[in-house]
Structure 1
Amino acid sequence: LSNMRRVLDLGCGNGVFTKIAYEENPEMEVVMVDILPEMLHYAKQVEKPKTNAVQALFENLPFRNGVFDAVITAFALRDAADGYKTLDEVDRILHRDGRFIVCDLIKPDNTLLEKLFGFYWLAVSPLLGIVAAGRKGAKVWVIWKTYRRWPKLSSFIEIIRSKFPRYELRRKMRFGVFVAVFRRS
C-alpha cells in the first residue's frame, strides 16, 4: 500500500484495517464501505483527514470504474450476499493495475485440518468468547455458519483468480486465516 493513492476498505467494520493501511501510507485516501451503519459509526472514529465512510452493498458499489488503486477486505468477503457479483464490482472499481488484498477465513484443503478448524469455530471459539466476554462472547459461533458454507482454500483462490489471475499468498495463519494479494496481470 506504500505507493497507493486511493484505497477502498470493503467491509471496513470498526476501521481497524483502515488504521493499519494508514500506518503503511499516511498520505493515501481511504474510503471505508460497510452495509451496517453501526460499524460505520465506529469506523468514522479513524481520525484521518483523507477518510470517507460510505454505506453500501458489496454487490452494488457507488463508485466510478477504475477509481481505486487497491481494495482491501478483511473478514468481510465471506459475508457478501453474492460473492461473484462482489468480485465483479471489485474488478470494475479497481484501476487496471490495481491490487485486491484479501484477509479472511480459509477452509483447509486437508480434510483432517478442515474438521479440526470446524470444531474450533463450532465449539472452542464460542467457549473462549464466553470466558472473555460473558454471554455476548458466545455470538462468535456464527462464524461456524460461515465456515461451514465457505469453500476450501484452493477453490476460494480459483474463484478470485477468475477475475484476478495473478496472486501471491502472503501468509497462512493459525485457525484458518490467510492474507493474499491478487492482481489482473
Structure 2
Amino acid sequence: MGLGSYWGEVIDVLREIIPVYDKVNSFISLGKDVEHRNRAIKGRVKKGDKILDAGSGFGNMSKTAAKIVDNDLKIILYDPLVPMLKNTDRLFDRKIDSACGVFEHVPFQDKEFDAVLSGYSLRDAISLKTAISEMHRVLKEDGKWVIVDLGKPDEPFFRFGVTFYLRMILPVIALIAGGRLGLKFGTLYGTYKLWPQNKKLESMLLEKFSRVEFEKDLMGGAIMVAAYK
C-alpha cells in the first residue's frame, strides 16, 4: 500500500500549493487540525526529547510539540520538498535542523529518536510498509510514533460520508479558502483512495510496533495515532 507511481503527481501538487497550504488545510479539516495535533502529541512528547518530524512540511507538528514542552526539544524537520523546509521561519524564531528525503529512505541512524511525528503526511508515502519499517528503525527502544492524518472509516456508512465530503464538499471549501490553488487539493481524494481503512492501518502498525493507540474523530475521517516501539 502507498502512492506508488502516483507519488510524483502528488509531490508536484504539494509544491504548487505551498502559498496556501496551511490556510486551506485548516479550512478543509473544519478547523480541527490544531486540536488534533494537540490531542495526539500531548503526554507523548517529553522535555529533552529528540524529535524527527517526518513529512514535516513547515513544521506544524514540531511547533505544537515545542509549545507543549516549553521549547525543550531537539527537532529535525524531514520533508521531500526543499521549498517547504525553506519556509519554516514562518513558525520558528530560531534555526531548525532539517533534511530532505522520503519516508522510505531515512538518512538517520538506528534508534536515534525519542519520537517521530507525522502530521497529514504518512498518507503520501510511496510504500506504506517500507515507511513503517523505517520509522520503527530510527526510534529508540522506548520510542513512539505520533501520527495525525485522514482516517478511512471501517464502517461503510461512515466511509461513504467521508468519501462524499472529500469528493464533493472539500473542493468547494478549498476554492473559497485558497482560490485557484485551492482546487489543487482535489488530489487529496486520490491519496485517500489508496489509503488503508483504519483497522488495516492499525494492523500494519502492529506488525512492527508493540502497541498502538488509535483515536478517531469526524466519523473516523480523522485519526490520531501513537505507535509504541
TM-score, normalised by the number of residues in structure 2:
0.76
Alignment of 1:68-147 (within 5 A): 68-147=113-192
* Contact 1:123-1:141 at 8 Å conserved across structures: no
Counterpart in the other structure of 2:54: 10
Helix, strand or coil: the match of 2:110? coil
> What amino acid does structure 2 have at the position aligned with 1:14?
F
Query: Which 5+ residue runs of structure 2 have no aligned equivalent?
Result: 1-44
- Report the CA distance between 1:178 and its aligned residue: 1.0
After the TM superposition, list the runs of 4 or more consecutive aligned residues in structure 1 that deviate by more than 4 angstroms: none
Give 2:64's aligned residue. 20
Instruction: Return the offset for 1:133.
Output: 2.1
Counterpart of 1:32, as a letter, is L
Instruction: Answer whether contact 1:29 1:50 (CA < 8 A) is retained.
Output: no
More strand by percentage:
1
Match of 2:102 in 1: 57
1:33 aligns with 2:78: yes
Equivalent position amino acid for 1:115 in 2: F
TM superposition shift of 1:180: 1.3
Distance 2:228 2:92 in 1: 30
Superposition RMSD on alpha carbons, in Å?
Answer: 1.5
Q: Percent identity?
A: 28
TM-score, structure 1 as length reference = 0.93
Tell me how far 1:44 sits from its aligned partner.
4.6
User: What residue ranges of structure 1 are gaps of 5+ in the alignment?
Assistant: none
One-letter amino acid of the structure 2 residue matched with residue 22 of structure 1: A
Partners of 1:129 and 1:68 in 2: CA distance? 35
Q: In structure 1, how many angstroms separate the alpha carbons of the residues matched to 2:125 and 2:104?
A: 8
Which has a greater percent of helix?
A: 2
Report Cα offsets for 1:107-161 as digits up to 9, x if no partner.
Answer: 1000011111011111100011112222211112111101111111000110111
- Give the distance between the partners of 2:95 and 2:116, measured in 1 at CA: 16
Partner of 2:193: 148
Letter in 2 for 1:11: G
Q: CA deviation at 1:16?
A: 1.2
Deviations 1:163-185 (A, max 9, x none): 1130122x32226111111112x
Matched positions, count:
183
Q: CA deviation at 1:99?
A: 0.4
Partner residue, 2:206: 161
